[in-house]
Amino acid sequence: KVGTAVVTKLMKPFGYTKEMIDLTGTCALEHFTSTIAAELLQNPEIQAMFQDDTMYHLWMWHAVEENEHKAVAFDVYTSMYGQGPKAYFMRSTALLIAMALIFATQSYFTAKLLKTDDKLTWKDTKYMLKFMYGRKGFMTRQIPELLDFLRPKFHPNDSDTTALLATWREKLGL
């Protein structure tokens, strides 16, 4: 909330409202979560890491659910604010801020979990960094799709996950 208040204060002279900023942040975060969710549904290597069947099914269901509603906030945003330069600037800025905040938060909590498990060693940290941000890392692979949000005529449904979701609904008995 502090971050939103600061951004709102800085952007108010340019005609950006708190509501626009909040909705734009939601759009950026929804894009981020749906992109990660699609990766989870498509990546058997990540899926194989689940050791508990209940958690596996919960996360796969959640990944389906994230992709089912990936365009809702975006559609509300474009309905309210359009796709002109002002709306484009705000959503592009929101994605860059969201990515920075998620990177910082994810890094902090990863380090905290590694420390809790007595694995905050150079070897384990190096493995985690390679796993997440190496050439074929979990997050690195998603950068092109995450940055697609910056395309002026972007829409979340441009990344068609219809067949993927149908497959997973069947697998999960939904």
Give the chain's residues under pLDDT 70: 1-3
Domain presence at residue 111? no
- What is the number of structural domains in the chain? 1
Domain presence at residue 50? yes
Per-residue model confidence (pLDDT) at position 138: 87
pTM: 0.86
Per-residue model confidence (pLDDT) at position 123: 93
Question: Is there a contact between 23 and 72 (Cβ–Cβ < 8 Å)?
Answer: no
CA distances from 118 to 105, 113, 121, 123, 125 (A): 20, 9, 8, 12, 11
Domain presence at residue 51? yes
Per-residue model confidence (pLDDT) at position 153: 93
Domain presence at residue 41? yes
Which residue segment(s) compose the domain that 31 sits in? 2-101+142-172
pLDDT tens figures, 85-108: 999 999 999 899 888 888 889 889
Per-residue model confidence (pLDDT) at position 2: 58
